[in-house]
Amino acid sequence: MIRYLFPALLAFQVLLAVILWAFPGVWALAGIPAAFICAATIAHWKTPRDPNGAGPAMRPGVLVLGGLFTLVFGVAGMSLMWGATAPESISIEREIVIETPREKLWSLIGDPTQRTQWSPWIADVEPIGRGGAPSVGAEWRATLMLERLAVPATLKVTHVERFQRFGWDIVPVGGGQLEDMHEEVTMTHAPLKAGDTASDRYVIHYRLSYRVPSVLGRVSERMVIRRPAERMADEALKSLQAVSIGVQ
């Protein structure tokens, strides 16, 4: 019975992954353990029993353990197939409209030392070298705070366009599963509505991008990192709005 159930159960897992995400390629083999254990458990349950007690007896423990291991390996296998089909490049983007003088906004966006006032995940910013006004190529030392995890990092400025855009590459010390991390904030004039005379209204666009090259890394990113990073982006713009209104 196993030789018929096993390929059927494996095919079911792969087909489910294809329907939900896409074909996982060689990672379809991750479904083998769950399919084999499930097939063996069903075969044990379906094995004919001798009414006189001479044949093999059904063991409830085998069924319980078989069901448990099927669930554990099934979730693990589907997670790997999910990670295999997930995109390698991630971009988290948010926007907000803030009405305040552009000098106030830019002082918070374009000065790395002010980032700690509104960004919930960048702390302890200090320049590497002489410091001074930020320019392309300048580096800053900081601590990244994501949930309860604190990671030292180097921030290398890539874009400084006064009153328009500020961006930097983020390089965690010691590396990690996330690569090519980049954070960028842009500000543009908000479109005026009919009867609207305000000129100090700006659309602030925030973008955090990174790559996750490994399949295991993508599983971890989707399960552990993505939602906290999205919450951080939301909180950052709300905090920027609140702080910019109160900046003297």
Domains and CATH numbers, the chain: 2-85 (no CATH), 89-246 (3.30.530.20)
**Residue 232 pLDDT level (bands cut at 50, 70, 90):** very high
Using the predicted structure, report yes or no on whether residue 247 has a pLDDT greater than 80.
no
pTM for this prediction:
0.84
Note the pLDDT of residue 246.
Answer: 79
Pairing relationship of beta strands 139-146 and 89-99 according to DSSP bridges: unpaired
Note the pLDDT of residue 248.
Answer: 45
pLDDT tens for 112-166 read 999 999 999 998 899 998 767 789 999 999 999 877 788 899 999 999 999 999 9
Q: Other CB atoms closer than 10 Å to residue 47's CB: what's the count?
A: 12
Note the pLDDT of residue 131.
Answer: 66
Average of pLDDT values for 60-88?
94
Whether 189 and 201 have beta carbons less than 8 Å apart is answered as: yes
